[in-house]
Amino acid sequence: MAVGNILDNDSLIGRIIVTPVKQHELILEWKLAQQDVKNGGVLGVLTPGKRAMAVRVNEVVGLPGFVKPGDRVDIMVTMKNNWGKGKTTKTVLENTLVLATGKQMERIGPGEKPKSVKVITFELTLKDAEKLALATSLGKLRLALRSPLNTEPEYTVGATPNSLLASFRAKRASRKGGK
């Protein structure tokens, strides 16, 4: 028998095949994704039917030291309004699973030394991956760390400079009325 064969069917449950396997072929360990991120990369934890998408973030966006694999975050984008005046911040994805966090080396220009940039990898549906790709090209991303007990979606209209100022004016007016 060849070294590395999987002998019992129970050890195949939940494993992901990463290379084609023919009918009646012995399944070797190297044809399967590892079962954790450290050993097998993202394939080891990616849910079937989902995509892994990495996004470059800075330390502020990535909530330095707080966002870890397994956490869930809401992803917001701040971008120019459609009408060209001011900006809008809108939550584009909620309760998004973080698969991995880390750094990669990136060369900015020819002859320049590579610079370390923070990258966060999310698990997304294809539709959500499209939304995130568009959001990264339109504006700046922010992450909001979610409590594991908070799974309900929350619908908002987004925030604009006018809505921020309006809420301030409303609070100020109520204070004056109470004097």
Q: What is the DSSP string of 56-102?
A: EE-TTTTTTTT--TT-EEEEEEEEE-TTSSSEEEEEEEEEEEEEEEE
89 vs 31, more confident: 89
Say whether pLDDT at 5 is over 60.
yes
User: Predicted confidence band at 2 (pLDDT cuts at 50, 70, 90)?
Assistant: very low
Say whether pLDDT at 57 is over 60.
yes
Say whether pLDDT at 1 is over 50.
no
Say whether pLDDT at 9 is over 50.
yes
pLDDT tens across 74-93, in order?
A: 999 999 887 667 899 999 99
Pairwise CA distance, residues 159 & 132, whole Å: 19
The 140-145 sheet, strands edge to edge: 51-57, 115-124, 87-106, 72-80, 140-145
The per-residue pLDDT for 29 is: 73
Pairwise CA distance, residues 149 & 16, whole Å: 29
* pTM score over 0.85: no
